[in-house]
Amino acid sequence: MARSAANPAVQADGSGAQSRVRDLEPLFAPKSIAVIGASRTPGTVGSAIPSNLILGGYTGVVYPVNPKAKSIMGARCVPSISAIDDHVDLAVIILPAPAVEKAVLEAADHGTKHLVIISAGFKEVGEEGAQRERRIKAIADERGLSIIGPNCLGVINTAPDVRMNASFGRDMPRPGRIGLISQSGALCTALLDYAKGHHLGFSRFISFGNKCDVTEVDLLRCLASDRNTDIIMMYVEDISDGQAFVNAAYEITHGSNPKPILAMKTGRTAQGAAAAASHTGSLAGSDEVYDAIMSQAGVIRVNSVEDLFNFAPVFLDNRMPAGNQTAIVTNAGGPGIMATDACIRNGMELAKFGEYTLKSLKFQMPPAANIKNPVDVIGDAKHDRYRSALDAVTADANVHQIVVIVTPQTMTDVVEIAEVVGEAKEFCDKPIVACFMGAVDVSPGVELLRKHDVPVYMFPEDAMQALAVRERFARWTRSPSLGYKHFDVQAEAVDAIFAEELAAGRNQLVEVKALAVFEKYGFPIVPYSLARTADEAVEAARRMEFPVVLKIAGPKILHKTDVGGVKLNLTNDDEVRTGFNNMIATVKERMGADVEIWGVLVQKMLPKGKEIILGMTRDPRFGPLLMFGLGGIYTEALRDVAFRLAPIRENVAGEMIKDIRSYRLLEGVRGERPSDMAAIADCLLRLSQLVTSHPQIKELDINPLMVYPRGQGAMVADARVILSE
């Protein structure tokens, strides 16, 4: 019945728009760079970029373009790019906005395919600027250019054979394994400065500004294939193409050589989003959508720059934890409790030591020490006691990762302990992080740990949170790469219904038509039948067993209850017959005798179950967004619903169900049996296929889907489908 398929989305919803695969390597490793708008005036951007290139040790040739100057930093100026007697791999443009278009054309004429436009004065300043930007994008498409910017800080590549700092940041970052892309240019300068303080280095550092041409998705793919990049950091204020982002990020985080993506997306609150719009001129999507997209793509969404730098060090360690069993070694009880709290709060567990470990610790630790997890080596511990404790704990098969906490007491030999931790990290195949609490006395130890590449934190909470984030990512990379379930359905029949309704000028389907659509996609539907006479109604009711419900059916009758068009709980022939006749009469009385009536929908009255809502709304930027939640006023008031972009992979349906806060109600409380989750998941997957295959559907609701205890399935009781006009 069902088969697994490759991603059907690319064909189905036109997200293939992003499919031009860009080779951005010449942009990041150019042999020659023209700096158009280079300047001799110190303190200007036009002066900073050639200076950064030359002082940063760029390995290629720099051509400053300036019709008035003879040389800049010793490099001979040319009056225009056309005057350069060499192929120019990359042009960096720093001209005033109105002059940029002409420069782009000249560069294209000269054969340059890659450009970085630093200049501001485009989309972010209003309609005039936006028009300028669109004209440049048109040139890029026509001439096959790749353009980063405008309105950005520039690009940096620290690879030793390139050493390109084509940015106006203060100085070249140290080389490292982090690739960073950022929509905000100014933030980049702060990020570079934090990185300096944290002793973190970068492989590539890209400020992409208004992304008129090259987008975050192009840059993610570029960092994914860069062998100098192990971790990707990104800062965005909006995402241009949700579907392309999900596909690219999923491939990067879940492929054969997964790389973590730490993403900060601002504009979380409504007012924040308004500020984003005025900042970049881009319309930010609602925050729920971004959460859904990130989670679906395996992207680690961070809430602050601080988290970005707290999480990065653990990912620089290639050893992934085999599980979430965590050991804590501390010389102070209080911080041990803090770490324990944070461990549990972050969804991990305290490792339970094996008998041998306990014996070994008991033998080696003083009597007052706590040998259970968290191991308290007590305040007077020196490095030898830390070493014994670490040896015992790291050897324990129940332990997957270790946090070493040090408070600087009078006898604490901070540096020697750091050495012990560094060595343990070298020889142990499990991730180890350190928490050296304090700021001054512990700092020589912290320095040493950084030399050993041991992630080190000031606070136990931060250490634990970083471990938890990596552990979740490790689980994500191990999760099977499930495909998209494909159900055999009657898609043509559904298209026919839609065509018929649209032809009749109806874009909101009445219930009987909506139920037919879901039926053709194999959803479990409450038994129903359209009766045109009272006799037909009685016959249908007998067939589906009493009690039944009657609902008026007609092309214009959307609010059935208001016109007396619903009767519940009819238990025998007579009630159905009388109900049918009265209903027709009442509806005609209220809507006029010439109202078009198709008949009466006879439905089996469903036994009480848990009421679920499934829905879809098509986001203009992101495409079809599936929603899942419990029914009823409670869920709505608390906004306790889960979103995912369709199509969803097989395992995502189950994740969506577990995502809501009130999931416990589905597991069953007060001795109830758990609900039939498999039935809900099946409906979600069918829904995913339905909305992916039929772009005519603008939005829909199944409300309620009545769900019964495990093994007893679910039933679509009512549904609403709205088509695009």
Residues of this chain, 166-185, that bind its own copies according to CB under 8 A: 168-170, 182-185
Helices assigned H by DSSP within 110-173: 127-143
Residue 703 touches its own copies, criterion: CB under 8 A: no
The residue type found at 492 is E
Q: Nearer to its own copies by C-beta: 235 or 523?
A: 235
Q: Give the residue with the Cβ less far from its own copies, 200 or 557.
A: 200
Which CB atom, from 558 or from 665, has the smaller least distance to its own copies? 665
Look at the chain and count its residues. Answer: 725
Residue number with CB closer to its own copies (186 or 499): 186
Selection from 463, 449, 390 nearest residue 416 by Cα: 449
Cβ-contact 310, 457 below 8 angstroms: yes
Nearer to its own copies, 305 or 530 (CB): 305
* Cβ distance to its own copies smaller for residue 235 or 521: 235
User: Letter for the amino acid at 689?
Assistant: Q
Q: Is there binding between residue 268 and its own copies (CB under 8 A)? A: yes
Of 218, 207, 302, nearest in space to 260 by CA: 302
Distance in Å, CB of 195 to its own copies, minimum: 8
**Taking CB under 8 A as the criterion, which residues in 139-168 touch its own copies?**
168
Q: In angstroms, rounded to a whole number, what is the distance separating the alpha carbons of residues 235 and 527?
A: 51
| Of 713, 717, 712, nearest in space to 701 by CA | 717
CB of 168 or CB of 628, closer to its own copies: 168
Give the residue carrying structure tokens 């601080």. Answer: 306
Cis amide linkage into residue 444, ω under 30° from 0 = no
Q: Quote the CA–CA distance of 182 and 209 in Å, as a whole number.
A: 7
Judged by CB, which is closer to its own copies: 32, or 703?
703
Tokens found for residue 107: 């560069």
> Toward its own copies, which CB reaches closer, 150 or 185?
185
Contact predicate 166/90, CB 8 Å: yes
Stretch that binds its own copies, among 80-88, 247-255, 341-349, 572-580 (CB under 8 A): 341-349
Report the run of H or E that residue 292 belongs to, with start and end.
Answer: helix 287-296
How far, in Å, CA of 117 to CA of 102, rounded? 12
DSSP 21: -
Candidates 19-27, 262-270, 538-546, 701-709: pick the segment binding its own copies (CB under 8 A).
262-270
| Contact residues for 565 (Cβ-Cβ < 8 A; gap 6+) | 551, 552, 557, 583, 586, 587
Residues linked to residue 433 through DSSP beta bridges, in sequence order: 403
Specify the stretch interacting with its own copies by CB under 8 A; choose among 334-342, 534-542, 616-624, 648-656. 334-342
Contact 169, 237 (CB under 8 A): no
Question: What is the nearest approach in angstroms of its own copies to the Cβ of residue 471?
Answer: 17
Residues 575-614 that bind its own copies (CB under 8 A): none
Q: In the complex, what is the shortest distance from the CB of residue 270 to its own copies, in angstroms, rounded to a whole number?
A: 7
Which span sits near its own copies by CB under 8 A: 29-37, 139-147, 272-280, 476-484?
272-280
Residue 462 CB, nearest approach to its own copies (Å): 7
Q: Work out whether 128 is an interface residue with its own copies (CB under 8 A).
A: no
* CB atoms near residue 502 (< 10 Å): 14
Q: Which of the residues 42 through 61 are near its own copies (CB under 8 A)? A: 43, 45, 48
Determine the 3-state secondary structure of 36 from DSSP.
Answer: strand
**Residue 276 or 540 with smaller CB distance to its own copies:** 276
**Total number of residues that touch its own copies (CB under 8 A):** 87
- Interface stretch with its own copies, choices 73-81, 158-166, 225-233, 432-440 (CB under 8 A): 432-440
Of 198 and 486, which CB lies nearer to its own copies in the complex structure? 198
Residue from 306, 384, 535, 562 binding its own copies (CB under 8 A): 306
Answer for which of 279, 319, 352, 577 binds its own copies (CB under 8 A) is 279
Angle formed by the axes of helices 414-427 and 383-394, nearest 10°: 20
Residue 505 has what DSSP assignment?
Answer: T
Shortest gap between Cβ of 362 and its own copies (angstroms)? 15
Interface with its own copies, residue 138, by CB under 8 A? no
Cα(292)–Cα(330) distance, rounded to whole angstroms? 38
The yes or no reply on residue 235 touching its own copies (CB under 8 A) is yes
DSSP string, 56-124: TT-SSEEEEE-SS-SEETTEEPBSSGGG-SS--SEEEE-S-HHHHHHHHHHHHHTT--EEEE----SGG
Distance CA 719, CA 79 (A): 68
Q: Is 272 in the site for its own copies (CB under 8 A)?
A: yes
Instruction: Kindly state the smallest distance separating residue 125's Cβ from its own copies, in Å.
Output: 6
Q: One-letter amino acid identity for 14?
A: G
> Which residue type is seen at 251?
E
Q: What angle do CA 579, 585, 586 make, to 5 degrees?
A: 85
Token code pair at residue 97: 């906005």
Task: Looking at residues 504 to 563 of the shown chain, list those that interact with its own copies (rule: CB under 8 A).
Answer: none
Structure tokens that stand for 178 in this block: 């982090």
CB of 550 to its own copies, least distance (A): 26
Residue 636's H or E segment, with its range, is helix 633-638
What's at 83, amino acid-wise? A
**What is the contact mask toward its own copies in residues 460 to 479, using x (rule: CB under 8 A)?**
-xx-----------------
CB atoms < 10 A from the CB of 252, how many? 22
337 binds its own copies (CB under 8 A): yes
Instruction: Please list every residue from 607 through 666 that binds its own copies, using CB under 8 A.
Output: 633-634, 636-638, 661-662, 664-665
Cβ atoms < 10 Å from Cβ of 356 = 12
Instruction: Say if residues 177 and 229 touch (Cβ distance below 8 Å).
Output: yes
- Site map for its own copies, 191-230, x if CB under 8 A? -xxx-xxx--------------------------------
| Number of Cβ atoms within 10 Å of the Cβ of 497 | 20
Contacts of 243 (CB under 8 A, 6+ apart): 9, 13, 15, 622, 623, 645
Residue 125, interface with its own copies (CB under 8 A)?
Answer: yes
In the complex with its own copies, which residue's Cβ is closer, 198 or 254? Answer: 198
Which of 57, 98, 111, 334 is close enough to bind its own copies by CB under 8 A? 334
Q: Does 303 bind its own copies (CB under 8 A)?
A: yes
Q: What string marks each residue from 94 to 123 as x (binds its own copies by CB under 8 A) or -?
A: --------------------------xx--
Report the residue number, 305 or 322, with the smaller CB distance to its own copies: 305
| Side-chain-side CA neighbours of residue 436 (13 Å) | 25
Structure tokens at 305: 């720059």
Q: By CB under 8 A, what part of segment 441-460 binds its own copies? A: 441-442, 458-459
Query: For its own copies, which is the closer residue by CB, 508 or 662?
Result: 662
CB of 716 to its own copies, least distance (A): 23
User: Which one among 54, 73, 84, 275 touches its own copies, defined by CB under 8 A?
Assistant: 275
Restricting to residues 356-415, which ones interact with its own copies according to CB under 8 A? 368, 370, 372, 374, 376, 379, 407-411
Least Å distance, CB 67 to its own copies, is: 24
Range in contact with its own copies (rule: CB under 8 A) among 40-48, 421-429, 536-544, 673-681: 40-48
Q: Quote the least distance from Cβ 536 to its own copies, whole Å.
A: 37
Which of 100, 152, 312, 332 binds its own copies (CB under 8 A)? It is 332
Indicate the residue among 193 and 495 with the shorter CB distance to its own copies: 193
